[in-house]
């Protein structure tokens, strides 16, 4: 995973530049006022600081759809160019108006970086460390602020500090960022798949994962082009075929899925557990810990029940069987056609035609969907109509070598991807068939539970057999959409997945139940984060620390008031870095939801202490001590939870086809709320006072805790496509709950 880590670090430099700029302007504005005599013109002074916010807000309105059109990487390159140009213009700035133009360009660069870096990291990171890597932007942003404060503090000690150099030096790190985006960062593999550029996507995945066999994840990315319909949660017992029956003809059994192992003749069978799955029951009635709370969103209990049922460590691949690593991939040395790009259409047409004449399919899976075995299975299989089986044998989903150490159906977080063929009678009485995709995850530890197996399957099992109980999320496959089969006589989206997204995302997609549900979570948590008080505490920190005697101590060292303020800000920012590092470690262990529910109460306590410190006179020393401790606690716990997690969640919960558009909406909400909070703070301080402001922030934090508890699910360790599928299930259950 070193490739994914290095790519995430390089991408997060965009946030380092954002933090660098935020801190630099805070120090430089002190000297800009003197040169341009702005003491009597606070509006111009405010514009110099706020123009970058305006630029970020404006660019965010279109960055999402453009990134869905052009890709993530080109916009990151444009962001680095904007940083570079704005730095040079600020270095030159002969007057205020040129400076305002430079700040606007800088805001464009900031807006692109803040919007797209979390999306890019989420789309390239493995599920197991996605939270850690997506906390990097918070770390690099705070690191950029610290470095910038140190630079500005050092320059403030000079006889004639130059604000142009303070601001213009931004162009130096922006050159490094530009070189990394152009020569090191690959395009997002999910975006490449959405455009049908499969060869490029596969090469990028191989580089990011550090292995050749990425067939399973390639399959996942194609499935991610659309959220399935008719979603259901089932439960399977999976084991070797002869564990269920010795002589029984598996092909005649309609209630199983046949899975193929890495060796010739090595096959596995999945049988549904009779009745409702454990996860399905838990999600319907709430997880074990939340069954008594009627206000709990079914989505939250669904995700919670998954994490309660499924193993926290290891993967299904490693825990199942010794040879489960490439469960659906049977080694074969056949030449493979890995190119799914548009030019393969004519070449694959013949295969579709020949398979299409093969006849009706059976109700169960007769052959491996993503592999071709050099055994007798090919002559035994009955391919489904329209040639979709052929297409699935010709894509880069296809084969993985038997000797590969990592299974090609592993899609991260211990999840596996499979398919089954199912049929039903249409309105005209003819059979209609299609693929159902299945996301599998182990529910219990492997072992020999003979009695349980016999009772669940009604079959005689061997005492020394190995099998597991697995949760299965079953839905319509994106590889075999009915509308695409009707429109394209050559074959389904397996060969040309770009056709499923050729029209691009539309506003109508936002009203799909799962997407709408995810937007409510994303927009809600962004609003609450901004109104939770971070800007107010940042604004007031220098005053609090001065009251605590830090300012007097530094003044005794011969520092000016400006230098003292900058050094205090640098020390405050330095406090954040080790706390963010702790959050990075915990993000994929404790989880996003747990971190929020753990850290928000500390924010509430800190704000209440700040209110008490403002209202109750306990002596200057006691008041200063309480205020200082409260500020430190607030900063440390904010950057561990409410700081990075909203952006992480927003980059995880939306389907691939609308991810850019939805992220743009969430980020636009972030910037608008940022502007509102920043400009309302001085007014609120005058109207309700400091105690009133912090009291209001405490109330917002209480509301935030309730919102997170009731509405925000746990997404750690889950592939992005599985998260989107669960949101669709949760929205469906929420609608059913309202009807009942």
pLDDT digits (tens, 9 = 90+) for 43-76: 788 788 889 989 999 999 889 889 988 999 999 9
- Cα 68-193-404 angle, rounded to 5 deg: 145
Residue 543 lies in a domain: yes
Same domain, 95 and 44: yes
Backbone angles phi, psi at 206, to 5 degrees: -60, -40
Same domain, 49 and 176: yes
CATH at residue 597: 1.20.1250.20
Write out the H or E segment, with its range, that includes residue 248. none
Same domain, 650 and 549: yes
Residues facing residue 442 across a β-bridge: 470
Tell me how far the alpha carbon of residue 572 is from its chain's centroid: 29
Residue 658 lies in a domain: yes
272-276, 508-512, 578-582 — which is least confidently predicted? 272-276
**d(Cα 636, Cα 28) in Å, to the nearest integer?**
26
Residue 113 lies in a domain: yes
- The answer to whether 663 and 119 are in contact (CB under 8 A) is yes
Q: In terms of DSSP bridges, do strands 431-442 and 416-425 run parallel, antiparallel, or are they unpaired?
A: antiparallel
- Cα 567-570-572 angle, rounded to 5 deg: 110
Same domain, 472 and 520: no
Res. 300 pLDDT band, cuts 50 70 90? confident
Cβ count within 10 A of residue 558: 8
pLDDT, position 454 = 33
pLDDT, position 217 = 85
To which residue do tokens 């990171």 refer? 125
For the segment 121-158, what is each residue's pLDDT rounded down to a tens digit? 999 999 999 999 999 999 999 999 999 999 988 998 88
By CB neighbour count within 10 A (0-12 exposed, 13-18 middle, 19+ buried), where does 593 fall?
A: buried
Res. 403 pLDDT band, cuts 50 70 90? very low
Same domain, 142 and 237: no
By CB neighbour count within 10 A (0-12 exposed, 13-18 middle, 19+ buried), where does 100 fall?
A: middle
- The answer to whether 199 and 119 are in contact (CB under 8 A) is no
Same domain, 591 and 705: yes
Q: DSSP secondary-structure letter at 447? A: B
Same domain, 75 and 139: yes
199-213, 418-432, 520-534, 717-731 — which is least confidently predicted? 418-432
pLDDT, position 583 = 94
Same domain, 176 and 233: no
- The answer to whether 20 and 141 are in contact (CB under 8 A) is no
Residue 571 lies in a domain: yes
For the segment 447-489, what is each residue's pLDDT rounded down to a tens digit? 433 333 333 333 444 444 466 777 777 777 665 555 544 554 4
As a whole number, mean pLDDT of residues 696-722 equals 94
Which tokens is 303 given?
């995700």
* pLDDT exceeds cutoff 80 at 325: no
**d(Cα 264, Cα 260) in Å, to the nearest integer?**
9
Q: DSSP secondary-structure letter at 651? A: T
234 is in which domain, residue-wise?
A: 228-245+254-275+434-443+467-477
Which is more confidently placed, 499 or 589?
589
Q: Is 467 helix (H, G, I), strand (E, B) or coil?
A: strand
* pLDDT exceeds cutoff 80 at 199: yes
Cβ count within 10 A of residue 70: 13
* pLDDT exceeds cutoff 60 at 490: no
- The answer to whether 635 and 572 are in contact (CB under 8 A) is yes
For the segment 327-372, what is each residue's pLDDT rounded down to a tens digit? 333 333 333 334 434 333 433 433 333 333 333 333 332 233 333 3
Same domain, 530 and 597: yes
Residue 80: closest CA among 56, 108, 101: 108
**d(Cα 572, Cα 401) in Å, to the nearest integer?**
53
Residue 258 lies in a domain: yes
By CB neighbour count within 10 A (0-12 exposed, 13-18 middle, 19+ buried), where does 229 fall?
A: exposed
pLDDT, position 309 = 56
Helices (H), 357-411: 377-380, 388-394
**d(Cα 397, Cα 409) in Å, to the nearest integer?**
9
Residue 198 lies in a domain: no
Same domain, 23 and 80: yes
Residue 80 lies in a domain: yes
Same domain, 103 and 150: yes
Number of domains observed in the structure of the chain: 3
Mean residue pLDDT of the chain comes to: 74
**d(Cα 11, Cα 555) in Å, to the nearest integer?**
40
Same domain, 711 and 568: yes
């Amino acid at each position: 995973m070193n490739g994914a880590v290095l790519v995430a670090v390089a991408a997060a430099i965009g946030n380092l530049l954002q933090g660098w700029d935020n801190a630099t302007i805070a120090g430089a504005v002190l000297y800009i006022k003197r040169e341009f005599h702005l003491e009597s013109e606070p509006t111009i002074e405010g514009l110099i600081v706020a123009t970058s916010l305006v630029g970020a807000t404006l660019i965010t309105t279109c960055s999402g759809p453009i990134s869905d059109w052009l890709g993530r990487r080109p916009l990151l390159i444009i962001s680095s160019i904007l940083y570079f140009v704005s730095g040079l213009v600020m270095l030159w700035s002969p007057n205020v108006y040129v400076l305002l133009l430079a700040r606007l360009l800088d805001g464009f660069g900031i807006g692109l970086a803040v919007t797209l870096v979390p999306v890019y990291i989420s789309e390239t990171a493995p599920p197991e460390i996605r939270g850690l890597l997506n906390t990097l932007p918070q770390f690099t942003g705070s690191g950029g602020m610290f470095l910038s404060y140190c630079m500005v503090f050092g320059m403030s000690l000079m006889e004639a500090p130059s604000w142009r150099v303070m601001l213009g030096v931004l162009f130096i790190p922006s050159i490094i960022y530009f070189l990394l985006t152009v020569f090191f960062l690959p395009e997002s593999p999910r975006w490449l798949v959405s455009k049908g550029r499969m060869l490029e996507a596969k090469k990028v995945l191989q580089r990011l994962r550090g292995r050749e066999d990425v067939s399973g994840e390639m399959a996942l990315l194609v499935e991610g082009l659309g959220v399935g319909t008719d979603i259901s949660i089932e439960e399977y017992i999976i084991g070797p075929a002869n564990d269920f029956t010795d002589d029984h003809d598996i092909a005649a059994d309609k209630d199983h899925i046949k899975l193929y192992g890495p060796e010739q003749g090595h096959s596995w069978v999945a049988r549904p557990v009779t009745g409702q799955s454990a996860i399905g029951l838990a999600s319907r009635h709430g997880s074990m810990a939340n069954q008594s709370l009627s206000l709990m969103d079914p989505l939250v209990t669904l995700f919670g029940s998954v994490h309660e049922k499924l193993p926290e460590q290891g993967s299904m691949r490693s825990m199942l069987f010794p040879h489960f690593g490439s469960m659906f991939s049977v080694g074969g040395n056949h030449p493979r056609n890995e190119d799914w790009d548009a030019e393969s259409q004519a070449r694959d047409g013949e295969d579709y035609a020949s398979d299409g004449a093969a006849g009706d399919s059976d109700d169960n899976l007769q052959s491996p969907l993503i592999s071709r075995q050099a055994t007798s299975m090919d002559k035994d299989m009955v391919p489904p109509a329209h040639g979709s089986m052929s297409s699935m044998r010709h894509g880069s989903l296809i084969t993985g070598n038997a000797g590969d150490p990592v299974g090609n159906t592993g899609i991260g977080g211990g999840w596996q991807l499979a398919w089954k063929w199912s049929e039903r009678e249409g309105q005209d009485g003819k059979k209609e068939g299609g693929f159902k995709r299945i996301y599998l995850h182990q529910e219990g530890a492997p072992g020999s539970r003979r009695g349980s197996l016999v009772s669940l399957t009604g079959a005689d099992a061997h005492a020394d057999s190995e099998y597991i109980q697995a949760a299965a999320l079953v839905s319509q496959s994106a590889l075999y959409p009915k509308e695409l089969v009707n429109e394209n006589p050559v074959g389904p989206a397996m060969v040309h997945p770009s056709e499923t997204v050729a029209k691009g995302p539309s506003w109508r997609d936002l009203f799909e139940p799962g997407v709408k549900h995810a937007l409510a979570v994303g927009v809600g948590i962004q609003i609450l984060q901004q109104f939770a008080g971070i800007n107010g505490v940042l604004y007031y920190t220098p005053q609090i620390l001065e009251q605590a005697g830090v300012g007097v101590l530094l003044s005794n060292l011969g520092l000016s008031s400006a230098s003292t303020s900058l050094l205090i800000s640098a020390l405050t920012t330095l406090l954040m870095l080790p706390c963010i590092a702790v959050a990075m470690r915990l993000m994929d262990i404790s989880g996003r939801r747990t971190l929020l529910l753990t850290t928000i109460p500390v924010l509430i306590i800190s704000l209440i202490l700040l209110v008490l410190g403002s209202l109750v006179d306990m002596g200057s020393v006691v008041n200063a001590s309480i205020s200082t401790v409260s500020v430190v606690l607030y900063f440390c716990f904010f950057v561990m939870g409410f700081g990075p997690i909203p952006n992480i969640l927003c980059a995880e919960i939306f389907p691939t086809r609308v991810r850019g558009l939805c992220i743009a909406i969430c980020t636009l909400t972030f910037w608008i709320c940022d502007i509102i909070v920043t400009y309302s703070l001085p007014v609120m301080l005058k109207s309700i006072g400091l105690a009133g402001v912090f009291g209001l922030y405490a109330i917002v934090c209480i509301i935030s805790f309730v919102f997170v508890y009731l509405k925000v699910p746990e997404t750690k360790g889950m592939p992005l496509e599985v998260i989107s599928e669960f949101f669709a299930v949760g929205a469906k259950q929420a609608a059913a709950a309202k009807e009942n």
